[in-house]
Structure 1
């Protein structure tokens, strides 16, 4: 059967119009995130004219006038702009996130000798660009299945993952497709293998099959009930767990399917003889410890082991290892959730049971430094432990002080934990707790400078005084409205409104305060206050 070509719409990639603005709206970049490596270009949106604009792109770097920068590593970065003129405030900030670039996840199945069905599976991407040739392309969102006829038995497919509000720098992949025909199914081996503890498995070794064809394997446990065991690609050896059955034989139906309309292309039935029964494993979960993912697998006897695979989705896994106890994995990053497929094997390497688990993940989505507000995004753990209480842990850099609260996506950071604060989610099931990765941010110390003072000699509010200095080490410079320094001080209270014996007039004054944090770092704060005389 021949598949009619679906008509596609060509993609116009993200229009590069600056849309992610800084907190004060003075500059912008095209998008709030991108896949590593990604180069951003800054667009100035202020009205200050021909003034100096300097930028800090990463913590610890020297300021630069360059309006472009390339980020190579995943992370959340704060871009700081400094205006070289007496403008209050002098700085403006913008948060930019760089995420891992991972190839799109997909499955391609054959429909006919010239047509295919492409199934997109990766929820990491919001949209996909799919190109078949210079005439046929489309963009599509999940969940979706795309059908295409190459009009020949071979072709190529280009797939690029796109994220909403992101630079188009994420991974892509190219696939060469070769389609074939099949007249019959044959097997060099087909049997029911008795496993340990009376568990039975179906063992198949097909000798001729199409690598891109979709097959179904079903078993008739009695004259009335048929149960599907598997749908997908065939491999050189298939091992499938069988359901319980009462007779001493059962019949297996293997069918090649047309992936576009689910019709059966060819079908073969095999009737086999032999055993029964089942086993399982429980109370297994994943948790982040010391920047690794702990798979909390209980110690097993020497007659059991667990085969572990890791995947970026719940549909495709790469084999990691086999173990009979706890296992620690170092994932590529914590900017996305990774899934672990566990197969419980007996001494015959028969799969007795399987499950998928995942550790919780936490991301810092946004950070407002004016009020120490943060926005978070979390992924819940996957396990079979039931319902958990979800909490948020905040703790100091040395873990000596901590705060526990109910989880919320948006919160104001509490004081008292120091300059550096770590955050993690925690899910507790009775005596078992699963933890996410830690995200790190800083608590911004803001010194309170009164909006006004009145040095009229009445003993009330005669001095400008600072409140909330983290250490006694500071220096303040006070400027008049023409930008001239009228007073400097490193003693608190800082000013009585005089220069020597001369009384300074009422008006608005600018200050620049430089003070040392408890960590020893220096910080600058600028603002204005009013001097009032009666």
Structure 2
């Protein structure tokens, strides 16, 4: 009951609030808003004697789609533009309705043109609303203009940042549409614009880049082959204060140069003389290809030019060329190399004018110098060659020749790069290489230095050391600085490095009871830097287990020589068997460290000679057998 009283009081407040002013078709309810921009909030007031409360329920269809809201809600917000029949269904008297118009909330478009004397011209280009409210935001009254009005002028008291706000509204609609606010700047005198750059795009187009003021109108003018006959080319107008561009077409940039300037136009005072920007001119650039020289010449209006910059291949090449100069000879060229040139005219105010790019291929008949340094790397049964040459010449093909066993050089192959792999190399047959090449001018170089790869040999001596010998490396103009020998495991782990200096032999007597296989290679380091390392063939040394043993032992318990033990290396499998003089097996073990203590079935064997057999499997899976005899002594 208490809730019913509270609801009735709330409904009475809505019904008597005084906000509703648009009557429904049947007069049973009214709304405070019938038309406006989205989002549009509508409030319903029930007119007496109609009632809409807990005792007299009614339903609301806000969108006219026959979907009724039974929650007695009297406020609704429309977010989507359109026409809607708001319908109230009364329990006793039936339905009543009113048409709601929701307009798309689009701020109206308008243009601003800045004038001198702190004046501004505005033009309303929007046609979506019945009328427009123009607010100059300077304390002056807002203007209300009907649809179709072109706009007008307004003068501000002071220069500086200003804002014009325009909003649209329709007859009979609430004034809730979003305004379009455009900030701008007023000037006593409009500042002079700046032409930043000129770029000749091709034989009939030029691009002009300039910095302008927001909402200011400009006139771009052009004069051909001088600065005495400027003609209007096009209007320029920007809604932002930024660098903008325009492209002028229909020109003949091959035969003529063109000068441009930008004038300030005051639409409020169209008869007043224009103030002009700086003048900037294009340049006609020509390229003549001579023997070992590219000649460049140009024509432009030189007055006002501070200096020139010549770019080659899109990078600065010659700077600060005097403004009176009209040609440059480029002698730093390579035959059959393409060069692109662009002339930049530099003005004192920082403006720049870029000519059309000229491209040509240089000519020369200078023969290339021979290859001076060749680096050879032996890789199994192949040799990888790399080399350096004079960077002043660009080869198009290398021809690699070789001789074997001091025979004549014959062609081994060709390469377009400074590298080649010979797949048919044998360390057993001395082989050397020589290179010639043809450059871009189709000239052939003299033969290169002869390059002979390092050939490494190795021998395992009786004491277990390894003797290494190698041939001297040939192929570098300044020779070898030193040789370095590297020893690896068979899985590529570096064990030792030996500095051999300029010697061609070393002996490796380092102890290694862990690795059975040793891999050796020699590296040569050049006296001249940047040539890489020449590398020999790989030599693999595999060491045998080398089973050793004593000839006698004394199992008397004194802790000295009490066991007969066999010594070996690189063992994965081991078995030792002991036999008496009649060939009977009296002891066997697979523990290499255990040895025989001279007993059989717990009893000490008599002095005498006993035979043994040792079976070994090394790290590589190879089997070895060692048989012999040992003397058992009972020395006290």
TM-score higher than 0.5: no
Q: TM-score, normalised by structure 1?
A: 0.43
Q: Which one has the largest radius of gyration?
A: 2
Q: TM-score, normalised by structure 2?
A: 0.37
